[in-house]
Amino acid sequence: MSSNLERYERIAPFFDLLDLPFEYGRYRKIRPLLFAGLAGRILDAGVGTGRNIQFYPPEAEVVGVDLSPAMLARAERRRLSLGAEVELRQMDVTHLDFQDQYFDAAVATFLFCVLPDDLQVPALREIGRVVKSGGTIRLLEYVRPRGALRRAVTRLWEPWVAWAYGAGFDRRTEEHVAEAGLEVIESSFVVDDLIKLISIRAIK
């Protein structure tokens, strides 16, 4: 079984192409929700190929981190093409090389549906550590749909999604928030009953 690092090193050259229908069909409409009202120093955890870059608040100081050098290389090309001011760093989200309360806010886009269950709490706790007390953490995440037809479709897709992305629809991220010492402020569906925007408060 491939590790997430091996998987994303392999898939990086094709990632944007594979994601293209979803990017223009779903993601571009909801990415701005991650950044609404955020300012100051922002962490983009699991920055990937940098699809969030064009939606960063213009006055914000953003640092994007990712485990995969190949994905970061794609993000760097996007940063240069957009002329964006963002720092990109290779880093494991469960071991962030930042001091406590370094960021005013943090976001993660489809990161936690990729992380296995045993890394959910460590990643949430570590992101919470580097965000200031009272700061906002926003997640966009896939969940298992409630409707019978969509549930059946996701089960058909799941083996391929797991192989290509290491992702699953049954991650219990929202349930792990309290265990990580954080607090859910709001949780709502933003694409049918398939994608949620979860807003979390960092508490110290």
Average pLDDT over residues 95-116: 96
**What is the topology classification, in CATH, of domain 4-202?**
Rossmann fold (3.40.50)
Kindly calculate the radius of gyration of the chain based on its CA atoms and give it in whole angstroms. 16
Which pLDDT score, from 0 to 100, does residue 197 have?
Answer: 97
Residue 202: which of 10, 42, 25, 62 has the closest Cα? 42
Model pLDDT, residue 160 = 65
Question: Residue 109 pLDDT > 70, yes or no?
Answer: yes
**Residue 98 φ/ψ, nearest 5 degrees:** -135, 150
Q: What is the pLDDT of residue 163?
A: 66
